[in-house]
A and B are shown apart, each in its own frame.
Chain A
Amino acid sequence: MMWLLSLIPNFVYHLLLLASIVAFGSCYILKMIPFISTNVEIIRVISVVVMIFSVWMEGGIANETKWAARVAELEIKVAKAEKEAAEANGKIETVYVDRVKVVKEVQYVVQSRIDKNAAKLDLTCKVDPLAIEILNQAALLGVKK
Chain B
Amino acid sequence: MKSVIMLSLIFLTGCIATPVARNFPSAPPSLTSTCDQLIAAPITDKLSVLISNVTTNYEKYHECSYKVDAWNNWYIEQKKIFESVK
Contacts and interface: CB of A to CB of B under 8 A. Distances in A.
Nearest to B86: A77
Secondary structure class of chain B's binding surface, majority of residues:
helix
A2 interface: yes
B48 A85 contact: no
A95 interface: yes
A111 B52 CA distance: 7
Interface residues of A, number: 48
Contact of A103 (B27, B39, B40, B63): B63
Contact of A126 (B10, B11, B45, B55): B45
B37 A144 contact: yes
Interface of B: 10-11, 13-14, 19-20, 22-23, 25-31, 37-48, 50-52, 54-59, 62-63, 66-67, 69-70, 73-74, 77-78, 81-82, 84-86
Given A2-B14, A74-B20, A143-B37, 9 more contacts: A1-B11, A77-B86, A81-B85, A92-B31, A92-B77, A93-B31, A96-B69, A118-B46, A139-B57
15 contacts: A71-B20, A78-B85, A82-B23, A92-B73, A93-B29, A93-B31, A96-B31, A103-B62, A107-B55, A114-B48, A115-B48, A121-B48, A122-B48, A132-B44, A136-B41
